[in-house]
């Protein structure tokens, strides 16, 4: 035999071993995946479905909740009048007690003087419809116009007004 023939034979044997090993590996893999019992396969599908449902439930869980001030139907005493103080404390004080977003602080006469000078109607209208950074009805749409007016009158009177 010549040197070229032995080299060619060596290459052919190597290629045969590689191709044979590949085919053998594929047969083993196919046999391993087909040997699973049908009952086990259906159990796995059910388990995956349950896991997917739990993940889906977890994905729609809110990160946080926003709590809007509750509607105030508080009346003061037996007179049947709406308590502007209680409404303001529950709904308006969040911003107006500390002056958040440039809101006039309850009790600060300097901040309220120009606003009170505009008149009761203008103050109430601005509170009901919103003005600048203040949302309509202070962000609590469940308040009636009368409740908003009572709260505005109370805050203005606490701040030097006589409405």
Closest by Cα among 148, 162, 158, 163 to 109: 158
Q: In b/e form, how buried is each residue of 86-98, taking b as 16+ CB within 10 angstroms?
A: bbbbbbbbebbee
Residue 145 maps to a domain: yes
Per-residue model confidence (pLDDT) at position 132: 86
For 8, 66, 130, the CA distances from 127, given in Å and listed in that order, are 96, 22, 5
**CATH, residue 123:** 1.10.760.10
**What pLDDT does residue 147 have?**
92
What pLDDT, on the 0 to 100 scale, is given for residue 94?
86
HSE (side-chain half, CA atoms, 13 Å) at 145: 7
> Residues with Cβ < 8 Å from 85, sequence gap 6 or more?
76, 154
Q: pLDDT of the chain along its 163 residues, tens only?
A: 577 778 888 889 999 999 999 999 999 998 888 765 555 555 555 555 555 666 555 556 666 666 665 554 444 444 456 788 998 888 888 888 888 888 899 998 999 899 889 998 998 999 999 888 888 988 889 999 999 999 999 999 998 888 8
Q: What is the pLDDT of residue 76?
A: 45
Does residue 67 lie in a domain region?
A: no
Residues 83 and 23 occupy one common structural domain: no
Same domain, yes or no: 55 and 80: no
Q: What pLDDT does 4 receive?
A: 74
């Amino acid at each position: 035999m010549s040197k070229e023939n032995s080299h060619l034979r060596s290459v052919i044997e190597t290629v045969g071993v590689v191709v044979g090993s590949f085919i053998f590996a594929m047969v083993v893999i196919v046999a391993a995946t087909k040997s699973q019992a049908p009952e086990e396969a259906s159990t796995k599908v059910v388990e995956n479905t349950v896991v997917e449902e739990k993940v889906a439930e977890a994905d729609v869980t809110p990160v946080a909740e926003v709590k809007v001030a509750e509607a105030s139907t508080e009346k003061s005493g037996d007179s049947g009048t709406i308590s502007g103080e209680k409404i303001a404390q529950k709904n308006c004080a969040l911003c107006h007690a500390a002056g958040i977003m440039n809101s006039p602080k309850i009790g600060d006469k300097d901040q309220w003087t120009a606003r009170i000078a505009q008149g009761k109607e203008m103050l109430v209208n601005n509170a009901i419809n919103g003005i600048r950074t203040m949302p309509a009805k202070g962000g609590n749409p469940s308040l009636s116009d009368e409740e908003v007016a009572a709260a505005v009158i109370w805050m203005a009177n606490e701040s030097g007004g006589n409405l």
